[in-house]
Structure 1
């Protein structure tokens, strides 16, 4: 690349990135780019025009996605993206952050700030990987994606005290946004459904009762006796609601978003 400096244009400046990023820049870059300095490193922000795929207006069904704490995302296909290892890491991060804040020295504050950046990048990377897999599965099978409306999720979810810090620091909306923009780029329709009672409703007979959830991981219907992993049962309900939303003509397209790096 070449950049303007106070001494004139500097040409032949090398830059690098992931293979996919370099391919996109080589094929799709349009207009000017920005070079920024952040946290001791230089970043090239390149503007690229990426054409959207032809939207799938006749999906054969919907992949329901249940977002949670123990499992970050569970799909109605039976895929669970476990968050156990991530949650253990985040608990260790939380304890370290508390110790550094308690210490209060300048070096402790610098270390806390640096560590916070690592936490954020780690979570972002995980959300990118999960969203990419979910969208790829939906595109491959000709289906859309059904997501829960996330508004008020922190208020309506009841958790034990050790899980509350995990809930309030996990980026649910970021994962949902990543799924939405990747889906739009791939032509996969996205709908948003009412999340009420998806965890208590039986995906077979639709009997809804709080006692259907005897534990966090187990769903046992009190009416028909159906037994399944609780998150998988919820994802089936979300998928069914997504199909009903689509059939009733209230489809909600993925929101228009700028590229999220």
Structure 2
């Protein structure tokens, strides 16, 4: 795809209508669609924080975008293979991932946390606290990598989605779930999640979780990457970001 012309036009505030009509190829953005409140289906339509941010960034960059759903464990391979042109799916910016793809600046950053059933006997989140316990986590995530390397005395159970793991926790099949704190906070506000609460404090480790979540693009597409970074800064500056944030969370996730 040729990004340079229309990204530069957008960056300098020039009219891109002729270029869009005559030359622009649609920018396809992948999100997961099973990660509420960041991306999920509502009446058959993709919505959520990631989706709203993707649309806002595209509008600011004056590019036409289509958002598609992609299962998490195929997200990076699909981008590299050209199935879509960017990822807006709460993906942590890590050194390991940067070996395969490139990232914009962060558009949000929240810690990882553990949850467990209230009064279920788990009182801390250290490896010793969870030795002999079963912990649910989404497959192919930074949280999964962290558990595999640091909680060797626990049973790590991999799930296709965090919701699947959370429901097994609510039904007494596992002892804890480890995921993004903001996602777990929202789930615990639901009827199913009322069973559970955070245990221990924030888990912050740049080696595993990077510096935040960014827009993923293929390596070598610096203009598209920088266009997303510029759009994020502008949305932060003009208050649009805060409006989207408050739609989903009662606290800042930046």
Q: Flag whether TM exceeds 0.5 (same fold).
A: no
Q: Which one has the bigger helix percentage? A: 1
Q: Which one has the bigger strand percentage? A: 2
TM-score band w.r.t. shorter chain = under 0.3
TM-score, length-normalised on structure 2?
0.27
Instruction: Tell which has more relative contact order, 1 or 2 (C-alpha 8 A, sep 6+).
Output: 2
Structure of higher CA gyration radius: 1
